[in-house]
Amino acid sequence: MARTRDDEASRLDEAARAGWLYYVAGKTQDEIAQALGLSRQSVQRLVSLSTSAGLVRVRIDHPIAACLDLAARLKDRFGLRFAEVTPSDPASASTTLGIADACAADLERRLSQPDPIILAIGTGRTLKAAVEHLPPMQCRQHRIVSLTGNVGLDGAASIYNVVFSMADRVGAPHYPMPLPVVATSPEERAFLHEQKMIRATLSLAASADVAFVGIGQLGTGAPLVSDGFISEAELEAVRRAGAVGEICGWLFDAAGRIVDCAFNRRVAGAPLPDIATCEVVAVAMGPAKQAGLHAALGTLVNGVITDEATAIALLAD
């Protein structure tokens, strides 16, 4: 036996004492060494031991602390590269409150970097709200590319295509997709994708460094239905085929796989960027989006911005 119980206990005792002097009394390791008659290195080891042995408990008394903890657990659980959790306001049923600010803050942080990036952006009410929280900036070094078509069924630009307002605000070159959101047939889609300008934009989207996307629910009030891209009946059919959510029009199942269905073959937007090469951040909250979010995390996206309640629900699954 290399060490007796007593030795170990007294060593922990020493460690606790050193940790106390260091963390509570705020002494330097040199002073502690002098006080305890040890070398500074020994004190360093004791202090280090006191933390690694879990003797030192640090608590942050702020609501943010719980959110950061949830974010760390989300990252760990779903293998994400990025996670941010905002405090929930239990009184509000809004599905953008808080995360829109958080998303805007994150966008701002990324855009204020001098190194040029290609930023892809999806569509939807959540992103729309986020972009509205962006401060005016000038960052011509970045390029912003839309992942979805911006033309509705009636030929009018969809108001939820956010690339325009975003690029407008931040003063960056932008690359919209002059396409319908959904083509009338796979053949039309293929034809459209052959167009030179479209190909350039598609290629830009494929090489995006970071993408922000919303999660579309498929239940009551599904945006695909209310925006007229799919009929209730067809949606019901793909739901029975396993679809649980939608990103930029792409329907996916509970395992995060793009469903092989007639609708997806007509989606005119760019394929979702590969999470191996691109940071794809889902911005969504609320019970309606939970199933879709859960399926997409770690498969279609490797980042998330959500709220406390949704984070808790996701981790409980």
Q: Rounded to the nearest 5°, which phi and psi values hold at 253?
A: -100, -175
Q: Does 155 bind its own copies (CB under 8 A)?
A: no
The binder of 1, among its own copies, DNA, none, by C-beta within 5 to 8 A per type, is DNA
Residue 31 binds its own copies, judged by CB under 8 A:
yes
Q: Under a CB-based contact definition with an 8 Å cutoff, are residues 251 and 275 in contact?
A: no
Residue with Cβ nearer DNA (4 or 226): 4
Confirm or reject binding of residue 16 to its own copies (CB under 8 A). Answer: yes
Q: Are 175 and 145 in contact (CB under 8 A)?
A: yes
**DSSP character string of 249-317:** TEEEETTSPBP-SHHHHHB-SPPPPPTTTSEEEEE--SHHHHHHHHHHBTTTBSEEEEEHHHHHHHHH-
Nearer to its own copies, 136 or 221 (CB): 136
Which one of 39, 72, 140, 241 is in contact with its own copies (CB under 8 A)?
72
Residue 210 CB, nearest distance to DNA (Å)? Answer: 23
Chain residues binding DNA by CB under 7 A are 1-3, 22, 28-30, 38-42, 44-45, 47-48
Look at residues 140, 104, 119, 45 and name the one whose alpha carbon lies nearest to residue 279. 119
> Which residue number, 20 or 164, has a Cβ lying nearer to its own copies?
20
Nearer to its own copies, 109 or 240 (CB): 109
Adjacent-strand bridge partners of 86:
307
CB of 47 to DNA, least distance (A): 5
Q: Which is nearer to its own copies, 90 or 155 (CB)?
A: 90
Q: Is 244 helix (H, G, I), strand (E, B) or coil?
A: strand
Q: Is 255 in the site for its own copies (CB under 8 A)?
A: no
**Which residue in this structure is represented by tokens 């793009």?**
258
One-letter amino acid at 59 equals R
Four-CA torsion 236, 240, 241, 245, nearest 10 degrees: 70
Quick check: 39 binds its own copies (CB under 8 A)? no
Least distance in Å: CB of 261 to DNA? 46
- β-partners of residue 182 are 267
Q: Among positive and negative, which fits the CA dihedral 305, 310, 312, 313?
A: negative
Per-residue mark of binding to its own copies, 215-254 (x: CB under 8 A): ----------------------------------------
Residue 13 in contact with its own copies, rule: CB under 8 A: yes
Q: Which does 66 bind (CB under 5 to 8 A by kind): DNA, its own copies, none?
A: its own copies
Nearest-angstrom CA–CA distance, 84 and 206: 25
Q: Which parts of this chain interact with its own copies (CB under 8 A)?
A: 9-10, 12-13, 15-17, 19-21, 23-25, 27, 31, 35-37, 50, 54-62, 64-66, 68-69, 72, 86-87, 89-92, 97-98, 101, 108-109, 112-113, 135-136
